[in-house]
Structure formats: structure tokens, C-alpha cells
Amino acid sequence: MTFQAHLEERAEIYDVLMRYCRGIDRLDEELVRSCYHPDAVDNHGLYDGSVDYFVSRAFTRQRTIEVASHALHNVRIEFAGDAAVCESYGTAVERSRLEDGTLLDQINGFRYIDRFERRDGSWLIARRTVVMDWARSEPVDEGWVADAGFVRGRRDGSDPVYQELELLARRD
């Protein structure tokens, strides 16, 4: 099939990738699980095993992080029937408070190497390998003036995006 013929499938796969990022950043386990086939495996370095193993371990760690932001950049998808390999370049920033009270941003450049499979009409992750390309840590300047007037993100269902989604659902 041609690139054009796969546009809808590409959009479905891209939506899965975006749901994953929102789910991990907003600590929404159900949303993250919805991105995987039930028998999927995930090698996230620290967590290598079933999707259940990954989610249970990753969310335990994620709950200790004050702020997380996963962003995907270049996404390349190549198809072979009901399977696809997707390479997504990304950047993650995770802010943690150290034992002495200072904040530290851990910034990672990574790639998700995903095998997507279409089963029962849905494209979901069957296997994920996270490739860490680079990483660095930076202390946080807590006195940044531009921060003052902005609505702050939340790592739970009280984040503003969930409020807007609830309002949207009421319109239907």
C-alpha cells in the first residue's frame, strides 16, 4: 500500500502515541493501558516485561515525580499488512525534589521503537523498546518570574485538560 492509503492508520497510531504521553504525564493508568494490547511487552530500561509489569512499576515511580512532560517529535511508521514499526523521537522532562529540598530536572532524549499490530480492527502497541539517546540533569531556578500567572498542570484528573474533556462530553 502507498503512504496515502495508510493515512487513516497513521492517524490512529499517532493518536495512540499522544494518548500514551498524556496518560504518563497525568498519571492516568487506564489511558496508558489503552495504548497496548493486553499481551504487550515493554522494555523501558528499568522495567522490562509485560505491560502490566511496566505500568505497575512505572506508575509507582511516576508518582514520586512532581512534573513530567513527554513530547514526541519525528514519527516514522512503516507498514507490513496488519503490523507496523513506528520509530518516535521524543524528549521527556521529569522534575523531582531531592532529599535536601532542591528541584532537579532530568531531561532525556529517547526513541520509542514500537511494533504496532492491528487486532480486531484496532492498532495498538504489541512491543515497545525505549532507546535512550542522551540525558542530562539541571537544577531548577524556582524564582522564574514568568511562572507566576500561569495555570499549573496537575498530575491527576484535576488537570485542566480533564475539565475541558468533561465539558466536551456533556455537549454530546
Interval 62-79: pLDDT, tens: 999 999 999 999 999 999
Q: What integer pLDDT is reported at residue 146 of this predicted model? A: 58
Q: What integer pLDDT is reported at residue 147 of this predicted model? A: 63
Q: What is the CATH number of the domain that holds 14?
A: 3.10.450.50
Look up cell 535536601; give the residue.
100
Give the separation between CA 99 and CA 119, rounded to whole angstroms.
Answer: 46
Interval 112-158: pLDDT, tens: 999 999 999 999 999 999 999 999 999 998 776 556 677 888 899 99
| Average predicted confidence (pLDDT) for the chain | 93
Structural domain tally of the chain? 1
Q: What integer pLDDT is reported at residue 1 of this predicted model? A: 66
- Predicted structure pTM score: 0.91
Domain enclosing residue 82, as ranges = 4-171
Give the separation between CA 153 and CA 155, rounded to whole angstroms.
Answer: 7
57 by Cβ neighbours in 10 Å (0-12 / 13-18 / 19+) ranks as: middle
The dihedrals phi and psi of 5, each to the nearest 5 degrees, come to -65, -25
Residue 97 has pLDDT above 80, yes or no: yes
Q: Calculate the CA dihedral of residues 114, 4, 119, 28 and round it to 10 degrees.
A: 50
Mark residue 121 as left, alpha or beta (left: phi above 0; alpha: psi -120 to 50; beta: remaining). Answer: left
Q: Which of 107, 103, 79 is nearest to 7 (CA)?
A: 79
Local confidence band at 6 (pLDDT 50, 70, 90 cut-offs) = confident
Q: What integer pLDDT is reported at residue 70 of this predicted model? A: 98
